[in-house]
Structure 1
């Protein structure tokens, strides 16, 4: 069951959409002001938005919110449900970044089908993003687990929390050179550590991923990078 926010000032339409999208939980706001408050308190899996609302233009609201990268709304699927059928409104909405544009009146079954398809795609994408695979190494970010597959067998590596964070960075950006300073800023944050601390952790991580078809290379004067051993893919 997913959480959906519906911004709409018609009580009748809200009731219809809530019934149509069961068993998902549809939260309702009748104004942009209420929506602003709600979005500050809770995140949603999908947002449905009317464009003509009592306190403002839904398109202007969308443009402002999506452009603000800090609120995470740019990653939330957005559907426009509106009576505005003008091509100019559709073009502007899609240019801003909406995922779908549905014109009222719409068929219940069509709305449900489109919403379910988008939610299903989002779930599949989130599942894919929770894993990293490079060479014969598979990293499960949700379980903080690293597995090395060799032939028909596999081995789980025992990494510390810091080693796991370092390996995650490496595997997300193979071939990128990471400086010691970058690791200190992003892994240790405010801790008072030195370059030598980074070198020590890299040495331990290298030893632990020994059976893997990836290796950590030293880039003299710059830092470290992860490479896939040639012929291992």
Structure 2
């Protein structure tokens, strides 16, 4: 399991890392501009962010990546208003300082397991098997190899079934701040739907908004 620790206090991050590194693969980030680059190149299972990183920065990056990665915020200074604002924005858990490592690890395990369970339910509803490490999808006895970008698109929709996904939101997730054309995104999605036949029916365009992966609620 891979965690991304986010804070500009390197001493605090190093101390926390020492308590987590035996159980987890731990990455560090000390500047908001680096988050996009890390998440674009590396699969992360959970974000662990210190409140001192800034309420505004946290909420900004929730908007970019929240649909993909669970987020825990560590706080010792947040006001009641800050806490309400963060929870309304989509923070999964808040944990008080000083950090109790046993409590923190419990929250990490529960969040990541819940996230993966939801993805597995969606995969089963699509009646296919996905080997993420090999980027291979099995359906009806046939195997298809996905490109890294196709795998990233598929992973995004699997984590957001029955939710309208804005085109710009998906482009931001895939290419960060790099400008790409509408045709580029549509081509990659078209290739993905060709390789994963259930998406031909389930993944639809929402006029003027973006996309929607339709999954029968009774199956997930």
Same fold (TM over 0.5): yes
1:169 matches 2:200: yes
Specify the alignment match of 1:80 in structure 2: 73
Equivalent pairs counted in the alignment come to 154
Specify the alignment match of 1:61 in structure 2: 57
Judge conservation of contact 2:139–2:196 (CA < 8 Å) in 1.
no
Judge conservation of contact 2:45–2:70 (CA < 8 Å) in 1.
yes
Q: Secondary structure at the match of 2:77?
A: coil
Alignment RMSD (CA, Å): 3.3
Structure 2-normalised TM-score? 0.57
2:138 to 144, 151, 154: 144
Structure with larger Rg: 1
Cα 1:165–1:123 change in 2 (3 A) is closer
Q: How far, CA to CA, are the matches of 1:36 and 1:165 in structure 2?
A: 28
Structure 2, unpaired ranges of 5+: 132-136, 145-191, 206-210, 212-220
Q: How far, CA to CA, are the matches of 2:40 and 2:59 in structure 1?
A: 17
The structure in which a higher percent of residues are helix is: 2
1:127 to 109, 120, 138: 120
Specify the alignment match of 1:14 in structure 2: 13
Judge conservation of contact 1:85–1:103 (CA < 8 Å) in 2.
no
Structure 1, unpaired ranges of 5+: 147-155, 180-185, 187-233
Q: How far, CA to CA, are the matches of 1:113 and 1:86 in structure 2?
A: 25
Cα 1:105–1:159 change in 2 (3 A) is closer
Structure 1-normalised TM-score? 0.55
Task: Write the mapping of 1:184-223 to structure 2, written as runs, cut at 5 A.
Answer: none
Q: Secondary structure at the match of 1:75?
A: coil
Cα 1:139–1:43 change in 2 (3 A) is closer
